Amino acid sequence: MPRLSDSMEEGTILTWLKQVGDEVAVGDELVEIETDKANMAYEADVAGTLTEILAQEGETLPIGSPIATIGESNGQPADSGEGPSAEPAGPVSDTAPAPTGAGPASSPPTAEAEEQDSEVQAPEAEHQPQADGERVKASPLARRLARDKGLDLQDLHGSGPGGRIVKHDVEEAEVPSSAAPTPSIQPEGVGAAPSTGGTAKGDVQTQDLNKLQQTIARRMAESKATAPHFYLTIEIDMGKAVEARAGFKAAAKEGEVVPSFNDMVVKACAIALREFPKANGGYRDGRFELYSRINVGVAVAAEEALVVPTVFDADRKGLRQIAADTRAVAAKVRDGSVTPPELSGGTFTVSNLGMFGIDEFDAVINMGQAAILAVGAIREVPAVRDGEVVPAQLMKATLSCDHRILYGAEGAEFLARVRQLLEEPVSLAL
């Protein structure tokens, strides 16, 4: 069982993408594994013939446990560059992503909410082998729905990125009269049958957590239990930011990415983090850790989970580059091609629920970071300016701070600087 994330202790075999007797080349996708972060395809690091599968689909094993054996290929020893002629697949490098739990997450906006936040819902990608050796690209949810409806994915047309079959494609497909839906056998046990016997609450259903959900639950509980949270809320006049974004849209060429308000918040935070190093640090084992790079994580709601892709060196990038990076990694999360390094290394997190009309909320700090910024909706409200009541575009933002490293005055100064940058967005270079 390979290590596919830094916090991974065990993995669950979801789908074998090769079968016993198949030839395997270095880099071939061998098996899909559910980790504490996401479902990931493990690529073979040796070449040869898959001679034995030791871990069956649905089986959960600790890191380092043998899951398969790759042996001789066409009478020749398996070529991995070194080592014996037959060896179990895994484990891989310990390089892996940082924790994904980061409080409430952004979720996919409607077209009307695009200007408030650009994040997208991100189902994980999944491959299913075809008889001819090619693979049908489909999301895990689409695969489960197809199985329940008795549909063959090879008969469906995918409307997702790269022809990937998504939930909508399965829902729109007609069920063959001869097809009998089969029950889902997903390893995480989602949708368990109601327990016998009623209670005052009615029939009770239980649902097991998958690896990612277990990690989120554990990390969030640890964060609240060990990090003394305190919260600072500020009101930001986004009037000039609204005008600036309208200008970006008007000046954008066809196909050119337009920064969202969330991209502006990420950039403002990055500049402020450079000026307030402790906000870009963390408390660990009785010491302050101050990070030289400013990597802002953007909390995104994935399918029944939470993912925090990272915008690396955000302080050195212009708004358009931040917007492009954010959309690129969101697309990778959507099609399942996101890599562990792209989920790692965050030093600060931004979580935005404004697209849901949430005015303000308190987010839970991501373990290992000093703070997280929770961003609310932009509201047009009456405000007093120079003794007159005028319309204003106001937004509330709440900074959750770990009092062990970031104290009240420091957190307030950092948040005030973020407000200053957003109220004068000319300082946010494109």
Q: Could you tell me the CA-to-CA distances from 245 to 239, 241, 289 in Å, in that order?
A: 10, 6, 36
pLDDT of residue 130: 47
pLDDT of residue 6: 66
Tens digit of pLDDT for each residue in 254-307?
888 999 999 999 999 999 999 999 999 999 999 999 999 999 999 887 776 778
Tens digit of pLDDT for each residue in 301-353?
777 677 888 999 999 999 999 999 999 988 787 776 777 788 889 999 999 99
Whether pTM > 0.75 for this model: the answer is no
Judge contact between 119 and 104, C-beta under 8 A: no
pLDDT of residue 332: 80
User: Given 2.60.200.20, 2.170.260.10, 3.30.70.2740, 2.40.50.100, which CATH number is that of 10-88?
Assistant: 2.40.50.100
Other beta carbons less than 10 A from residue 243's beta carbon: 12
Which one of 127, 157, 168, 403 is the catalytic residue?
Answer: 403
The yes-or-no answer to whether 10-88 and 126-172 have a common fold is no
Q: Residue 202 is encoded by which pair of tokens?
A: 């009615």
Q: Where are the domains of the chain?
A: 10-88, 111-121+211-427, 126-172
Tens digit of pLDDT for each residue in 86-101?
444 444 434 344 444 4
Amino acid making up residue 312: F
127 as an active site residue: the answer is: no
CATH classification code of 111-121+211-427: 3.30.559.10
3-state helix, strand, coil in the chain (%, to 5): 30, 25, 45
Q: Which residues of the chain have pLDDT under 50?
A: 77-101, 105-118, 120-133, 180-191, 193-194
User: Given 3.40.50.300, 4.10.320.10, 3.30.200.210, 3.90.1170.50, which CATH number is that of 126-172?
Assistant: 4.10.320.10
Q: How far is it, in rounded angstroms, from Cα 371 to Cα 350?
A: 9
